[in-house]
Amino acid sequence: MRFEVLDVDRLPGDRGRCGLSRGEGNESEESGGRGSENTAGECHGSTSSGYPKLPRESDHTPAVAEARATRVRYSLCAALRPSERRTDSSEIPAPAGARGHGLVRLAPLVLLAATACLVGPNYSTPRSDVAPSYLPSPGVEETPLNAADAYWWKIFQDPVLDRLVDAAYRNNLTLQIAGARVLQARAQLNQSIGNLFPQQQGASGAIAYDRTGTPITINRWDDNLLFSATWEIDVWGKIRRGIEADRAAYLSSVATYDDALVTVIADVASSYVNVRTAEERLRVAARNVETQKESLRIASVQFKYGETSELDVRQAATLLGQTSAQIPNLENTERQAKNALAVLLGITPYAVDAVLGGEGAIPSAPGDVAIGIPRDLLRRRPDVRAAGLTAASQSELIGVAVAQMYPSFSLAGAFGVSSTTLGASSLADMFTWQRRVAQAGASFFFPIFNYGRLVNQVRVQDAVFEQAVLNYQNTVLTAQQEVEDGLSAFGTSRAALAELETAAEAAARSTKLSILQYKAGEVDYTTVVTSEQSQLSIEDSVASTRGNVALGLIAIYRALGGGWEIREGGDVISDEVKAEMARRTNWGKLLETARHIPKNSPEEEP
């Protein structure tokens, strides 16, 4: 006999096991590389923390992939197969009385066997293509990431950036929205768990008056007070599959919050770098304006004393006007970067200047960067975890749809008291033991003649599951692309910066020499104009490229999924939001951090 034991005590908790201890109830089948049946004694491909298991090397072999060709198989659980019955001729029949007591003792086992079946596919982590290593990039090492790398923004050693990240974590409204969705998903999971128990329970009462006049007049009062309950037995696993779907959806909401946190931290760092880059470009433009003003003064003096033509003065004025015209555009770029930063911090643009505390330098990137290996992405990136959990949730919904095709069995009962005024009775007798009433019954419902509605609902859920599997695989590929893009941007920008810094020194020296030679009459003013234009262009490129180096490093850590660890030990919503929700609605203890945040880290291995 094959059972699936339901551990009710573990269902409401945050432990990784879903509370469903799977035995050998389903026949052993090939583990599907597309998220198919998995008969392991775990929660549909979950780790001990409730997150999808990481793909193993063996998951990617051709043999396993071929064995996973058939993904969805539906099977009914046989509580007791004929072949498993005892046929030993030496079996001695028990006395009739003993058999009766045996049936009573067997009743709980029969009920347990009736709820031991799970129809529909079991989930396993879909196969995904993961490169063995990243493409080579100078200054980048595939060394394992450590805990310090989770707080990657601290490598810039910029206290202002550290304060901004902390403020965004506490005040960003996008994060608060994602945190509220975690509470929503947790409440939905608790609601689904409640379906394991009698689905309808309630007290009802009624009082009625009846008067009849033929052939004699009778005045009659009747009243009753009843407690009734109805319980649909989860024979085919419809309720348990629904719980597992909501559990995966809940864990997915936590991973989605982590993904939003990664994005917010990276956006704060990027906006901060953009602000500092715009400030540096403004300083470069201002310095060049001063240099060109001096050149215009020299050309004007030379023209005044007849040593040059008016053309030199006009050229100097034109160049000065062009450079000065860049300043308003750069100021607009700076302002927009500050406005974007204000939204990320959850404050108004008016207050962002005070938070920044004046101008500053562009954050400097370190010489070497540790990035780990591509397989780390499956463990670190929250969006990959969220995509896998979404597929797991949808896989369970296939089972829910399949269970709708089979008969449902329900138990119903009621107990209470009733009284009437007929005869010697009175309404006051209602609460006496002699007036008790009890009802009990069982029923089943088998959907027939549904004209393909139920079958097509299974197909709908399977198609949605296929989309989730493909989205997971695409998310894994996109994650690797984003890391490679970040590595390329970081490496090429750093190489370009080294060349530009050398060119900037030469351009500044060239401008000084051209002005000296112009004063001496050795060159015309065109040489000065060319030198000053080159100096402005190169120095502006140095500032932009220095910012691009920092942005490239930020893109790397964004792609690696770093930063969500900042929430460990904290909550996903602020105390102010929780206070407002508690004032508006009775949340009980669910607003406590331990009640809606998984106890284990998503990165923990089983």
pLDDT of residue 539 exceeding 80, the answer is yes
pLDDT in tens, 42-60: 333 333 334 444 333 334 4
Q: pLDDT tens, 122-137? A: 998 888 888 877 777 7
Q: Which two tokens stand for residue 28?
A: 């052993």
- Of residues 421 and 325, which shows the higher confidence score? 325
Ranges of CATH 2.20.200.10 domains, the chain: 199-233+408-445
Calculate mean pLDDT across residues 307-321. Answer: 88
Choose the weakest-confidence range: 31-45, 488-502, 511-525, 573-587.
31-45
Give the CATH H-level superfamily of domain 262-362+484-567. Outer membrane efflux proteins (OEP) (1.20.1600.10)
Per-residue HEC secondary structure of 236-260 comes to CCHHHHHHHHHHHHHHHHHHHHHHH
Cis link prior to 215 (omega < 30° from 0)?
yes
Query: pLDDT tens digit string along 343-353?
Result: 999 999 999 99
465 within 8 A of 377, measured Cβ to Cβ: no
Lowest pLDDT segment from 368-377, 378-387, 493-502, 544-553 = 368-377
pTM for the full model? 0.77
Checking if the pLDDT of 101 tops 80, the result is: no
Using the predicted structure, report yes or no on whether residue 597 has a pLDDT greater than 80: yes
Q: What is the dihedral of CA 587, 593, 595, 596, to 10 degrees?
A: 90
pLDDT at 185 > cutoff 90: yes
Greater confidence, 92 or 216?
Answer: 216
Percent of the chain with pLDDT over 70: 76
- pLDDT of residue 13 exceeding 60, the answer is no
CA end-to-end span of the chain: 29
- Is the predicted pLDDT of residue 268 greater than 90, yes or no? yes
Comma-separated ranges of CATH 1.20.1600.10 domains in the chain? 262-362+484-567
Residue 49, φ and ψ in degrees, nearest 5: -95, 0
Long-range contacts of 588-596 (CB under 8 A, 24+ apart): 590/183, 590/186, 590/187, 590/190, 591/183, 594/14, 595/186, 596/182, 596/183, 596/186, 596/572
Q: 154: which 2 tokens? A: 């601290």
Burial 264-288 (b: 16+ CB within 10 A, else e): bbbbbbbbbbbbbbbbbbbebbeeb
- Predicted confidence at residue 164, as pLDDT, reads 95
- Any idea which of 69-73, 233-237, 448-452 has the lowest mean pLDDT? 69-73
- How confident is the model at residue 108, as a pLDDT? 53
At 542, is the pLDDT very low, low, confident or very high (cuts 50, 70, 90)? very high
pLDDT band of residue 141 (cuts 50, 70, 90) is low
Report the pLDDT averaged over residues 109-118. Answer: 60
pLDDT of residue 404: 92
| pLDDT for residue 8 is more than 70 | no
Q: What is the sign, positive or negative, of the torsion defined by CA atoms of 143, 146, 152, 158?
A: negative
Q: Which of 160-169, 288-297, 522-531 has the highest mean pLDDT?
A: 160-169
Contact 604, 47 (CB under 8 A): yes
Contact present, 406 and 445 (Cβ < 8 Å): no
What topology does CATH give the domain 199-233+408-445? Answer: Outer membrane efflux proteins (OEP) (2.20.200)
What pLDDT is stored for residue 19 in this prediction? 34
Is there a contact between 210 and 222 (Cβ–Cβ < 8 Å)?
Answer: yes
* Residue 103 or residue 339, greater confidence: 339
How far is it, in rounded angstroms, from Cα 602 to Cα 49? Answer: 6
CA distance 443 to 230: 10
Reported confidence tier of residue 291, pLDDT bands at 50, 70, 90: confident
pLDDT, residue 12, reads 33
Place of tokens 């001496």: 520
In this prediction, residue 77 carries a pLDDT of 46
